[in-house]
Amino acid sequence: MNISEFAEIAGVSRSAVSRYFNNGYLSDDKRELIEKAIEQTGYAPNITARSSKKRVTKLVGVIIPKLSSESCARVVEGISDVLEAEGYELLLVNTANDYKREVASLDLFHNNRVDGVILLATIFTELHMSVLKKMRVPVVIVGQELSGFNCVCHNDYGAAYALTSLMLGKGAKKPAFIGVTLEDLAAGKARRDGFDAAVRDAGLTVDPHFFETAQFNMDSGYEKAKHLLSGRSRPDCIFCATDTIALGAVLYCRESGIRIPEDIMMCSVGDSKFGRVSAPSLTTAHFHYKTSGINAAELLLRDLRHGDGVSRTLRLDYTVIERESTLFSDF
């Protein structure tokens, strides 16, 4: 769809559409008509054609959910390696896992001169969609899938399935799950779905009390493990959505005299450096976070140079790494 066709659908002039996408003056009535038409059609202007007429800033906005996250650091390292080699500078924004700050950051880059945006996404709300549809520069999403955008994501379902199956294959019969909000379709829902499928395929069911939802930190993992393991019925294995959550659970077990893996097995996702040296070391799924950053930067550069309006999704696989938290001969 070209700008003239879109203008006809919106019921406004071509110049009004141009002013809207260039932050020019526009009456509220016309702005509302254009935004309704965007919602109806999903229209976005040809970024590459327009950028050739504009000053190139050599700045790329990168929005991350947690500055202290090892996985985020690895993604940003990959982004930086590619973009800095091409003369770009990164503008980093830390949202502290606050979706409102994430939306505000998108809006900030929408209204200021950057050549593109890379979003390390957690959840998508209507507010996200409203801003994303208006973005006038290429956007690449890392960690989630979203139709109409270039995305780089991981096989969250497969990793959770494989790790859960590993523990059940060693004889565990009472699995438990410490996850994160299901609004996070990757770390939350996909990993929960993988866990559920592995349990189902093993012919088992899960005690309804053996599901916990944690925050992305050790303290929350500690508290959720305490809740799981303080009842009369105790699970014999726990899948944790992230290494950080698992490290909190390991700490609780150590303080409570619960032996890992003899009394309870544990695994998680992330292959963090702390998970490698914890006591016991964590069985985990290694995600190629730096590679995802490299791929995201390459997709962005491709859009900036040869944008064809076709969105692409790259899904990276995982590697299961078995360590002490599940390693023993007899269960």
Which CATH number is associated with domain 156-287?
A: 3.40.50.2300
Alpha-carbon separation of residue 305 from 116, 300, 311 (angstroms)? 12, 9, 14
Question: What pLDDT score does 40 carry?
Answer: 81
Work out the angle at residue 180's Cα, subtended by the Cα atoms of residues 174 and 183, and round it to the nearest 5 degrees.
Answer: 125
Give every residue of the chain whose pLDDT is below 50, as ranges: 47-49, 51-53, 331
Question: What pLDDT score does 47 carry?
Answer: 47
**CA dihedral angle for residue 101, residue 47, residue 149, residue 71, rounded to 10 degrees:** -50
- Which residue is it, tokens 């490299």? 294
- For the entire predicted model, the pTM comes to 0.80
User: Taking a C-beta distance cutoff of 8 angstroms, is the pair 194, 229 a contact?
Assistant: no
Question: What pLDDT score does 48 carry?
Answer: 44
Strand arrangement, sheet containing 318-321: 211-213, 175-179, 237-240, 265-269, 283-287, 318-321
Sign of CA dihedral 61, 67, 69, 74: positive
Question: What pLDDT score does 259 carry?
Answer: 97
Strand arrangement, sheet containing 116-120: 89-94, 59-64, 116-120, 139-142, 150-154, 313-316
**N-term to C-term CA, the chain:** 62
- Which residue is it, tokens 């097995």? 265
Q: Which helix (H) or strand (E) holds 91?
A: strand 89-94
List the chain domain ranges: 1-43, 156-287
Residue in 203, 224, 196, 230 with CA at minimum distance from that of residue 212:
224
Alpha-carbon separation of residue 278 from 182, 266, 323 (angstroms)? 28, 12, 10
Question: What pLDDT score does 22 carry?
Answer: 63
